[in-house]
Structure 1
Amino acid sequence: MPPTKAPRGLNDRRRQMMAAAVADIIRGGLEDGAPSKFAFEAPIRQAIRSRLCLRGKLWSEADLIAGDVVARGLALVGAVRPTWAEGQPDYVQLGAGAQIERTRCVRCHKPLPGEHTKFCGTLCAKAYHMRLARLHNFNDERAYDTAARLS
């Protein structure tokens, strides 16, 4: 949600132009497989804030401006923050939010042994999470580079 009083530093027209560019980054990320409209929120905000600081803005002022621009961009793509439960990886919208019942490993698809609920063992769990971390890092760097060119 944008602040009630827009922080000074960039006029409203420039903020709207930057917000439109942020919305384009978000849409592009969704087309490339980003998990949600919020996937690039942090790297974009950080890139804009960083660029403003390099241009002489105080960190606190730059952060308010970057937050305002990113909030406007999210609003342009119709982003609505989920509840905490909806934000959990195993949430499914079936009425009250039923858990996914799995019988096979998420990574290797072997049958799940005993009390395991997602991975067949620690090897698959670690490999899966390392792959996700690499993917998120790559997407964050792309979003940062694009957002840095905006400001």
Structure 2
Amino acid sequence: MDHHALSIEMRSLSKAVDRYLGESMPESARIATGGNAHIIIFLARNRGRDIYQHTIEQKFCITRSTASRVLTLMEKKGLIVREPVAHDARLKRIVLTDKADSIVADLKANGERVERLLVEGLSAEEQAALRDGVRRMRANIDAAQREYEHDMKEESK
């Protein structure tokens, strides 16, 4: 068996889920294209916390430039605003607008429906094992990334 097959299957599944989420999006929420919906849901679930661009970068495993581009487009669409914080003029807290708030329920309902579709036929034990396996794989790749970054820093000295 090809040792890359699992990563390829995971990427394929992720792409298929994103495509289906976009296609099955209720008309009211169509403004939230691509990763916008994921970010809106993340912000809605974390209303009590200050969320910054670097929080989005870490949560969604995206680069600074990608996060900046996505958040700028979301701002232009009127989905978020970036508010300065008193304790550090360089930081801007990301806050949902009323426009984004109005579609949160539709986004959540669509996401929950797709989640049910994904796990259909899997027992609770299989779902738990799958979640555990994915978490462990993520921890493995995060550790490898940190090690790689450390090695690159050492090489550049």
TM-score by length of structure 1 reads 0.30
Bigger Cα Rg = 1
More helix by share: 2
More strand by share: 2
